Structure 1
Amino acid sequence: MSRWKAAAIHLSISLILAAIVATLLYTLWFPPPYFHAAGAGTLIPLLMGVDIAIGPLLTLLVISPAKPKRLRRLDVSIIASLQAVAFGYGFYVICQARPVFIVGEVDRLVVVAADALSDADLAKGSRPEYRHRSWNGPRLVGALPPTGSRTFDVVAQAMGSGKDIDRLPEFYVPYEQVANSLKRHGRPLASLKPKGAEQRRQLAELEQAAAANGQTLYFLPLERQDVYYTAIISSSQQQPIAVLTVDPWNIPTKK
């Protein structure tokens, strides 16, 4: 078998594996509308690129019909091992970065990744479902500020470590408890300032679809690690129906 044929077979297998994994991640760990806001638009192509490049490229460079069969088998074993290690590490990184909670707090939504929560903080979750990291997509929850003696402790902790109530499951509540408060902070789509034709087209399509269904839309900032997106929310559902790469602030600010 020629090296080109071997590399082509290896590439085909890698593409099939990449398609299966990408579909799984897109539908389960990084589902719409949070796909890009959760960082999957960068992480998944990187993982797939490394996986596809390492195996087939090494096969093309190393495999040779002139080599003895024993050496060809050794080469294939080494290449497969390298590819498996690279893929496993990349998959682990994505696993740690997967969003496990979308937290509604005060005037925004916050994407909380698996590695942003400590086991100790999870153990204090206000409800059983808030005490573990989800494996089947992010949970939409709310967070209420502390009261009484815990207020000073949480404020001091936030100032010292940057860990606000969105990363403290003891303050999580069902999303319905904060939906009306978030709605009062929502702003009309007309106040958005999209950049470029694609963003304007997305907004126009959302507005047309909402008008056809007699719905009203508003937006809230969606934050991931101090990067802001725009969450479009239906007034009837009071939940995000789309996330756009539009800066929701006139003057970018940090939380």
Structure 2
Amino acid sequence: MSAITTHFWKVRLKAGSIHFAISVLIAVLAAALVFGLWYPYPYREISGGRELFSIVVIVDVLLGPLITLAIFNPSKSRRELRLDLLTVALLQLSALGYGMWTVFVARPVHMVFEYDRFRIVHAVDIPPELLSRTPPNLAALPTMGPTLLSLRPFVNADEQMNATMIALEGISLSAQPGLWQPYADAKSEIWKASKPISELKTRFSNQAAEIDALIASTGRRPETLAYLPLVGRQSFWTVFFDPISGEMIAYMPLDSF
């Protein structure tokens, strides 16, 4: 390999490496936003935030630097190089913007106590035409992270029938804003619906040690906690909580229905 060719590839690799470093930095900042705000634990696991963001990062972090490595030519004029790099940057930022928007609109917005279970509701789950029914003291689509809500009792049999029919069409009760109420308003119902940890360990005796280890990590005693099923986007988990205060304590990827 001639000295000219060696220099050519050194310059090209340097340009690609710099672009890669910048892309990684941007990805880290994006990750802080996604996992620190929109998909905090356990939502990053239950709602598929990690998978969605991984696709965005892989495409964005690798695509831009690879294009730079392919097109960067030190023999071009400074103007041509700037134009090429600007084009690549715009393409990369457009891809990142689209990916982040996809992650944003699919974000979890509420964890809702749904009478005998908890359900995670995502922004895309709520039909736009129902948003106007959101109680005035509640945020329909919070952008600063998921909130805790509960469902109020049905006013009458007709309302229950209408809500059930909407649910049968694919819009769960928890995704119907007209039924929402503050989480604290359902403390007594949460206490009544709660199930003892001893029951869970009996049902899943082969995972009793894992359950004990998880509870021990919280510093709480099993008899002070209760559990209920948690419905996610494509999976079922179990949530451990204080049955008196309703405080969420821990989560486990265990289908306890």
CA drift at 1:242: 2.5
1:170 matched to 2:178 = yes
1:134 matched to 2:124 = no
Letter in 2 for 1:178: A
1:247 matched to 2:251 = no
Change (3 A) 1:19 1:215: farther
Which is helix-richer, 1 or 2?
2
Partner of 1:206: 214
Partner of 2:233: 225
| Paired residues of 1:222 and 1:228 also in contact (CA < 8 A) | yes
- Write the deviation string for residues 78-131 of structure 1: whole angstroms up to 9, x where unpaired: 21111011101101101101111111111211111112112321211123324x
Q: How far apart, in 2, do the equivalents of 1:157 and 1:214 lie?
A: 38
1:111 corresponds, among 113, 116, 120, to 120
Q: How far apart, in 1, do the equivalents of 2:42 and 2:188 lie?
A: 21
Change (3 A) 1:117 1:212: closer
Select the structure of larger CA radius of gyration: 2
Unaligned runs of 5+ in 1: 250-255
CA drift at 1:32: 2.5
Matches of residues 82-161 of structure 1 in structure 2 within 5 Å? 82-130=91-139, 132-148=140-156, 149-159=158-168, 161=169
Change (3 A) 1:10 1:108: same
Bigger Cα displacement from structure 2, 183-192 vs 147-156: 183-192
CA drift at 1:191: 4.1
CA drift at 1:193: 3.8
The aligned length equals: 244
Partner of 2:5: none
| Paired residues of 1:14 and 1:52 also in contact (CA < 8 A) | yes
Partner of 2:53: 44
| Paired residues of 1:210 and 1:217 also in contact (CA < 8 A) | no
CA drift at 1:182: 3.0
The TM-score, its normalising length taken from structure 1, stands at: 0.84
SS in 1 for 2:237: strand
Change (3 A) 1:185 1:226: farther
The TM-score, its normalising length taken from structure 2, stands at: 0.84
Change (3 A) 1:30 1:214: same
Partner of 2:82: 73
Q: How far apart, in 2, do the equivalents of 1:122 and 1:111 lie?
A: 17
Letter in 2 for 1:224: G
Q: How far apart, in 2, do the equivalents of 1:57 and 1:192 lie?
A: 52
Change (3 A) 1:63 1:164: same
CA drift at 1:214: 8.1
| Paired residues of 1:215 and 1:235 also in contact (CA < 8 A) | no
Q: How far apart, in 2, do the equivalents of 1:155 and 1:214 lie?
A: 35
Q: How far apart, in 1, do the equivalents of 2:88 and 2:105 lie?
A: 26
Partner of 1:190: 201
Unaligned runs of 5+ in 2: 1-9
2:246 corresponds, among 220, 238, 241, to 238
- Write the deviation string for residues 28-73 of structure 1: whole angstroms up to 9, x where unpaired: 1112333311221211222211110111111112212233333322
Bigger Cα displacement from structure 2, 67-76 vs 51-60: 67-76
Change (3 A) 1:191 1:10: farther
